[in-house]
Amino acid sequence: MKRIGILTSGGDAPGMNACIRAAVRAALAHDLTIVGIRRGYTGLAGADMIPLSRTEIRNIIHLGGTILETSRNPDFYTKDGRLQAASAIERMDLDGLILIGGEGTFHGASLLAADADTAALIGVPGSIDNDIYGTDYCIGFDTAANCAVDAIDRIRDTARSHERLFFIEVMGRTSGFLALESGIAGGAEEMVIPEEETLVARMSERIRRGFAIGKKSAIVVVAEGKTPGISFDLARRIKERLDLDSRVVVLGHLQRGGPPTLRDRVLGSTLGIAAVEALLDGRSGCMVGEVGGKVSHTPLEETWQKKKTLNEDLRRVFTVLSE
Ligand code: F6P
């Protein structure tokens, strides 16, 4: 292992820069040459690389986004696209490649490893959705969840002043991790997540009862699911049952930006080092993660083939507190 590359792919997540920084510092400490591949799989296919030294990674630990930029590239799901990437890896003379990203990134990496005898591939989980099997938390989740809590707190002030019902839609695609944790921390009355059936009649009745016993506001945290904007329809259906003034707020990409929290900086730093050490240990085709506070290694296929489930204890906490 002499020369390695690093890229960020899929949705950016706060803490990715902390991870890049840590990987570069660990690589240099082991006398490895490290290059950054720009714009995820799009840049990989075109061998679009920049050298990385201490200079490039200076003063980036506090920055959201990714200095390497990123992309969602469907070409990786075609054999031609992957062979193009394999040939670029050869041209760049890489012995190892660190891929920071989510499910789609690791799916692509597994297919690439199956198609071509290429560099050793190590994944690092970076996604605000926190939906990757093989790690308790993904880089970016904590920052996004804190952003959602901050939004809930602010909206609570105005909801309370007007005695209103608010629907706050958070990201998370097909997973409810962001909704669950921000819902608990923000004291939400109700939660809608893709993992569970939405029972409109029951939810309406509980909200009605809340106001009847003296509540001055109610917040429903809604996970976006497959189609962002679902809160508008839900609000309309609940409005048909309740005579309450209601509003909808879709947080959207606001949750993806901003300075990473302490947790995301620490997780990014830990996993950046772990990724380089995995390459030095001769590992390939796995994702480094953190399970129970310890660095873990999970085969890349498992990270997207297995479904990460919600923490049942936390689910129960929400239920008890929303009664
Ligand atoms: O996967 C991260 C995520 O922010 C999801 O929560 C969201 O559904 C999606 O990306 C949005 O993707 P894009 O930035 O491509 O619109």
Q: Which of 266, 309, 284 is nearest to 123 (CA)?
A: 284
Pocket of ligand 1 (CB under 6 A): 11, 72, 102, 127-129, 171-173, 224, 256
Q: List active site positions.
A: 129
Q: What percent of the chain lies above the pLDDT cut of 70?
A: 100
Dihedral pair phi/psi, residue 96, rounded to 5°: -145, 155
CB atoms inside a 10 Å sphere around CB 190: 22
Q: Which of 173, 178, 193 to mutate to test the pocket of ligand 1 (most atoms within 8 A of CB)?
A: 173
Q: Is the pTM of this model over 0.85?
A: yes
H/E element, 94: none
- What average pLDDT does this structure show over 52-76? 96
Ligand 1 atom closest to residue 10's alpha carbon, by position in its atom list: 1
Ligand 1 atom closest to residue 72's alpha carbon, by position in its atom list: 15
State the helix-helix crossing angle for 103-115 and 79-91, rounded to 10 degrees: 80
**What integer pLDDT is reported at residue 268 of this predicted model?**
99
* Structural domain 142-256, CATH architecture: 3-Layer(aba) Sandwich (3.40)
Query: Residues 152, 233: contact at Cβ < 8 Å?
Result: no
Per residue in 239-252, pLDDT (tens digit) is: 999 999 999 999 99
CATH number of 3-140+260-305: 3.40.50.450
Contacts of 188 (CB under 8 A, 6+ apart): 152, 168, 182, 219, 220, 221, 318, 322
Task: Tell whether the model's pLDDT for residue 143 goes beyond 90.
Answer: yes
Task: Please count the CA atoms within 13 angstroms of the CA of 272 that sit on its side-chain side.
Answer: 29
Task: Please count the CA atoms within 13 angstroms of the CA of 203 that sit on its side-chain side.
Answer: 24
**What integer pLDDT is reported at residue 76 of this predicted model?**
87
Going from N- to C-terminal start, the domains of the chain cover: 3-140+260-305, 142-256
**What integer pLDDT is reported at residue 323 of this predicted model?**
82
Ligand 1 atom closest to residue 131's alpha carbon, by position in its atom list: 1
